Chains A and B, each alone.
Chain A
Amino acid sequence: MKLKVATVWLGGCSGCHMSLLDLDERLIDLADRITLVYSPIADVKDFPRDVDVTLVEGAVANVEHEEFAHLIRRNSRFVVSFGDCAVTGNVTAMRNGLDTEEVLKRSYVELADLTPRIPRDYPTIAELMPQARPLHEFITVDAFIHGCPPTADQIWTAVSELLEGKKPALSHVFLRYG
């Protein structure tokens, strides 16, 4: 019976997912042991029910992330904060001292090359929250994989333990911020 694994990309740079792909040939081993049921690197539209393990990259930065976080929690047996942004807010939270309006103006108007406009008028774009915050401030998180990004070895160790049905006991070697 293959474990059903999902990976999610919230407010982050996708670096943690790049690091996941850095597992290189170990991905082939992994493919034999898991089914990737939802991921930014898989074409699945809706987050499925009944997921065994979900890795969540990124901080909770907008209202959609918050809603999604609760859905992930409801549908997953084991939720992992995947990388420093999910664990601490990290770089995503560096805007937290600034006014949201100023941040949007800087990003979408002042620094825009084409069509400077704050994308607020599109109903599909989620509203930015006043602060980007770590995942565990919204939902119960079962395990943490640190690092910006976590190294492939860190991910492999944690995922291997999860596959064996164990909670990853991250040793001193693998506890690594930044």
Chain B
Amino acid sequence: MAIVTLTIDGEQLSAKDDESLLQVARQHKIDIPTLCHLDGISDVGACRLCLVEVEGWTKLAPACTTRPLEGMVVHTSTDRLKKYRRMIVGLLASEGNHQCAVCTVNNHCELQNLAYDVGLLYVRVPYLYPDKHIDASHESFILDHNRCVLCTRCVRVCHEVEGAHVWDIAGRGIDCEIISDLNQPWGSSESCTSCGKCVLVCPTGALVKKGESVAEMEKHTEFLKYIVTARRKGEWISVDTDEE
């Protein structure tokens, strides 16, 4: 680990080179919108909302998976980035069936909040209204593919924190979807411990508790902090370091 100095939005900062640009920015109260990122689980750069501009780089870089480098000059909220972020949220909205008004997480939804943050007045691409299904076979939870944005938080929290690795992604393109075990109904999954972590970290109404009505369900992700802190102190065994 070394200390590097870089510039983010005109502010000169020093940072550890094993942190992400996102961590560094947030430590200095520079807000970058995210969706797939969640403190406590690994970053995969899936949603592309945290894309930033780095001077001298031809490509945009996801802040969550980019490390700070010496002398780097980063811009986090240029007009181009704002336009792309609005476009990304619009595309996410168009690729699912997100009827906020009848969703159990209405008003507690990260996708909804992002739509406000990026100023999504309307979706400029044609809605696809894809034909997606619902898996309600689990005794306590429901997986509604209509509301899934494929952030893979559930996949990561189940693998990295619970250690069960129930979830994976199957399919390509618009047919991509979250599957449990080897594409078996969730209710018949032998690996699922019914811990509910995936439900709590899901940013939308794709994973919800059974029996909740419209706008009733709030997601709480604080539990992750305690588990991850305990693990760092050695009070918990990581699934990745176990037997490797």
Query: Which residues of the other chain, A, contact B97 by a CB distance below 8 angstroms?
Result: 93-94, 96-97
A88 engages B121 (CB within 8 Å): no
Interface string of A109-135 (1 = CB under 8 A from B): 000000000000000000000010110
Stretch among A21-29, A39-47, A71-79, A136-144 lining the B interface:
A136-144
Query: Which residues of the other chain, A, contact B102 by a CB distance below 8 angstroms?
Result: 91, 94
Judged by a CB distance under 8 angstroms, whether A48 is at the interface is no
Q: Which of B109-133 contact A (CB under 8 A)?
A: 112, 115-117, 119-123, 126-127, 129-132
Q: Please tell me which one of the listed residues A94, A137, A177 contacts residue B100 in the complex, with CB atoms under 8 A apart.
A: A177
Query: Which residues of the other chain, A, contact B131 by a CB distance below 8 angstroms?
Result: 97
Stretch among A2-10, A61-69, A100-108, A168-176 lining the B interface:
A168-176
Q: Which of B93-113 contact A (CB under 8 A)?
A: 93, 97-103, 106-107, 112
A86 to chain B, nearest CB (A): 9
Query: Which residues of the other chain, A, contact B99 by a CB distance below 8 angstroms?
Result: 84, 88, 90-91, 93-94, 178
Query: Which residues of the other chain, B, contact A131 by a CB distance below 8 angstroms?
Result: 129
Assembled-state Cα–Cα distance A88/B116 (Å)? 15
How many residues from B make CB contacts under 8 Å with A?
26
B132 engages A144 (CB within 8 Å): no
Judged by a CB distance under 8 angstroms, whether A87 is at the interface is yes
Assembled-state Cα–Cα distance A178/B121 (Å)? 13
A96 engages B121 (CB within 8 Å): no
B129 engages A93 (CB within 8 Å): yes
Query: Which residues of the other chain, A, contact B121 by a CB distance below 8 angstroms?
Result: 144, 170, 175
A178 engages B106 (CB within 8 Å): yes
A91 engages B116 (CB within 8 Å): no
A20 to chain B, nearest CB (A): 17
How many residues from A make CB contacts under 8 Å with B?
25
A144 engages B122 (CB within 8 Å): yes
Q: Please tell me which one of the listed residues A93, A175, A176, A178 contacts residue B127 in the complex, with CB atoms under 8 A apart.
A: A93
Assembled-state Cα–Cα distance A141/B121 (Å)? 11
A46 to chain B, nearest CB (A): 29
A178 engages B129 (CB within 8 Å): no
Assembled-state Cα–Cα distance A131/B119 (Å)? 26
A175 engages B122 (CB within 8 Å): no
A175 engages B116 (CB within 8 Å): yes
Assembled-state Cα–Cα distance A136/B121 (Å)? 11
Query: Which residues of the other chain, B, contact A177 by a CB distance below 8 angstroms?
Result: 100-101, 112, 115
Judged by a CB distance under 8 angstroms, whether A81 is at the interface is yes
Query: Which residues of the other chain, B, contact A81 by a CB distance below 8 angstroms?
Result: 122
In the assembled complex, 24 residue pairs joining A and B whose CB atoms fall closer than 8 Å, in A order, are: A84-B99, A84-B101, A87-B122, A88-B123, A91-B99, A93-B97, A94-B99, A94-B102, A96-B97, A97-B130, A133-B126, A134-B122, A134-B123, A134-B127, A144-B122, A148-B100, A148-B101, A172-B116, A172-B117, A172-B119, A177-B100, A177-B115, A178-B100, A178-B107
Q: What is B's interface to A at a CB cutoff of 8 Å?
A: 93, 97-103, 106-107, 112, 115-117, 119-123, 126-127, 129-132, 215
